[in-house]
Amino acid sequence: MRDEFGLAHPDRLFLAGQWVRASTNSELEVIDPAREDLVMRVAQAGPEDVALAVDAAHRAFTSGSWPQMHVGERAGKLRLVAAKLRERQATVARAITREMGAPYKAALAALAGPPALFEYYADLIEALPEMDVRERLNGRAWSALRPVGVVAAIVPWNAPLNLSVLKLAPALAAGCTVVLKSAPSTPIDAMILAECLEAADFPEGVVSVLTGGNDAGEALVSDPRVDKVTFTGSTGVGQRIAEVCAGRIARIGLELGGKSAAILLDDMDVEEAARRLMPNSLMLSGQACSALTRVIVPRHRHDALVEALAAAMEKVVVGDPFDEATEMGPISIERQRDRVLEYVEIGKSEGACLVTGGKRPAHLDRGFFIAPTLFSHVENSMRIAREEIFGPVISVLACDDIDDAVATANDSDYGLYASVFTHDDDAVIRLAAQLRSGNVAKNGVIVDRKLPYGGFKRSGIGREGGIEGLRAFQEQQVIYLS
């Protein structure tokens, strides 16, 4: 089968800095969700490969040079990775489009971020002091930050390279050693990333990239030599990771699900609100935990907003993700497509009104496509309002007043993102103080990876991005001097 991505070793794993054959005879099949054809097959790691990678990472951390290396040298390695990623940006974008169906133009634009993030953490570790003095009663003490140790990084399929780098760059910058496991359905971008890491020539064992399934993930988080697990994905899997790591008091960082709310204030025109909601509710075909899928509107404006949203959604161009005109691609995985369709039926059975969508667009005869879907007259007790669907499904909920809107937004197991649709900055700041959400934005979803990102409640533990993202891979040590 033709390799359209220029991979040097698609049949091998990047283990401890070397390309080696997997212990299993199995391969991962990558299916294009827009065409339903086989893109390629790649090596599949098993538990034995995980054990070898963790062993190498443990040795590299306990007796290797990386944790003690001067920050300038570590920063130089990160900048080399950034340069290699930038050279292959178009190829990675094509890989992500073929793997998970994101529109190519959107994938290409988003992939400016990973090289910049490697450079950001390179700059940050060079700028920060390694120790700072603390005064005490009878002398001085020094506070130092040390790398946490061996890190297991596990990423999902919806934004694979961006989320890999969000974990990998600060962990390496901190002096940790890392075993990164990709999602089974999106291994190609991970293999390109591995080739960029190889070009930077890290010391042996410092970084491994494994393309594997759930058994590899279970082996990785269960290994007693792993000091920290950083995971992005479903709340259910995050709970399992927390349970496993609790047994050995391993550190965890969990960025989990969301059921993000958009609150419409009276000063915002419904047509403008509908227009602004489209890219923020349907991003990655709704496969984003920050997507604004609960829209909370004053009761007297409910019908007008539903009408405006329906009109806007029916204009969204759904189709071939390589077509410049396409605004929304397919659902990434067939089973996820089926799950979204199940929720459409659940919504109808609960008594919500299906306004538009809920099925394959009429002009598409293949691919895991679902038309942008809108439910009106949704109660916050309904499953479609409470459970993360992870698809292009928007629920409109009516509220009596602003206090009711805030209470509805907060009445959720999740607390990742909220957005206030208004022209009043003060109102956003005022409501943010009342919203149980890790991120609050005005009129959309804004994510800056140089700022901390994470959620309240079942949306996760810890923060990624910014200086907080670096600190997540460091332990504090105090040195007393008499």
- Is residue 399 within a helix (H) or strand (E), and if so which, with residue range? strand 393-399
Tens of pLDDT, residues 370-392: 999 999 999 999 999 999 999 99
The amino acid sitting at 311 is: A
CA distances from 88 to 95, 110, 156, 294, 356 (A): 11, 13, 21, 37, 39
pLDDT of residue 132: 86
How far apart are alpha carbons 171 and 160 in whole angstroms?
17
CB 369 within 8 A of CB 317: no
Continuous segment of H or E residues that includes residue 335: helix 334-350
Q: Is the pLDDT confidence value at 283 over 60?
A: yes
The DSSP H or E segment spanning 194 is: helix 188-200
Phi, psi of 371 (to 5 degrees): -65, 150
For the segment 136-173, what is each residue's pLDDT rounded down to a tens digit?
767 788 899 999 999 999 999 999 999 999 999 999 99
Write down the pLDDT at residue 28: 96
> In the predicted model, what is the mean pLDDT of the chain?
96
Cβ neighbors of 220 (< 8 A, separation 6 or more) are 50, 54, 152, 154, 179, 181, 210, 226, 229
Same domain, 245 and 265: no
Is 48 noted as a catalytic residue in this protein? no
Options 255, 387, 464, 468, the catalytic residue: 255
**Hey, how many other C-beta atoms are within 10 angstroms of the C-beta on 227?**
23
Query: Which band of pLDDT confidence, cut at 50, 70 and 90, is reported for residue 2?
Result: low
CATH of the domain at 111: 3.40.605.10
Same-domain pairing of 125 and 155 = yes
Same domain, 345 and 206: no
Inter-residue contact 210 to 180 (CB < 8 Å): yes
The lowest-confidence range among 189-198, 393-402, 473-482 is 473-482
Query: Nearest Cα to 289, choosing from 338, 252, 255, 313?
Result: 255
pLDDT category of residue 134 using cuts at 50, 70 and 90? confident
Q: Work out the pLDDT band at 481, boundaries 50, 70, 90.
A: confident
- The answer to the question of residue 195 being in a domain is yes
Q: Residue 395 sits in a domain of what CATH number? A: 3.40.309.10
363 neighbors 414 (Cβ within 8 angstroms): no
403 and 473 co-located in one domain:
no
Domain annotation covers residue 1: no
Same-domain pairing of 244 and 344: no
Mean local confidence (pLDDT), 433-454: 97
Tell me, what's the pLDDT at 115? 98
CB-CB contact of 412 with 437 (8 Å): no
Which secondary structure element, helix H or strand E, spans residue 394, and what is its range? strand 393-399
Q: Are 278 and 236 in the same domain?
A: no
Q: What is the full DSSP assignment across 252-293?
A: EEEE----EEEEE-TTS-HHHHHHHHHHHHSGGGG-STT-EE
Q: Could you tell me the residue range of the domain that residue 333 belongs to?
A: 260-449
Phi-psi domain of 11 (left: phi exceeds 0; alpha: psi -120 through 50; beta: other): alpha
Do 314 and 227 reside in the same domain of the chain? no
**Residue at 123 is within a domain:** yes
Q: What is the mean pLDDT of residues 12-22?
A: 97
Question: Is 3 a member of any domain?
Answer: no
Q: Is residue 454 assigned to a domain?
A: no
Q: Are residues 210 and 127 in the same domain?
A: yes
Number of residues that this document lists for the chain: 482
**Short-list 344, 268, 342, 282, CA closest to 312:** 282
The pLDDT confidence band at residue 477, using thresholds 50, 70 and 90, is very high
How would you classify the pairing of strands 353-356 and 373-376?
antiparallel
Q: Kindly report, residue by residue over 213-232, the tens digit of the pLDDT.
A: 999 999 999 999 999 999 99
Q: Where are the alpha helices (DSSP H) in 203-266?
A: 214-222, 235-246
Domains: count for the chain: 2
pLDDT for the residue numbered 206:
98
β-sheet bridge partners, residue 182: 211
Structure tokens at 289: 């935990």
pLDDT digit string (tens) for 66-107?
A: 999 999 999 999 999 999 999 999 999 999 999 999 999 999
198 and 246 within one domain: yes
pLDDT at residue number 139: 78
What CA–CA distance (Å, rounded) separates 302 from 334? 33
Same domain, 234 and 273: no
**Calpha distance 271→236 (Å, rounded):** 37
Pair (198, 302) in one structural domain: no
Is there a domain that residue 6 lies in? Answer: no
Residue 7 lies in a domain: no
Residue 136's pLDDT is 73
**Per-residue pLDDT averaged across 19-34, rounded?**
95
Is 4 among the domain residues?
no
Q: Are 264 and 251 found together in one domain?
A: no
Q: What is the CA radius of gyration of the chain?
A: 23
C-beta of residue 113 within 8 angstroms of C-beta of residue 119:
no
In angstroms, rounded to a whole number, what is the distance separating the alpha carbons of residues 110 and 161?
10
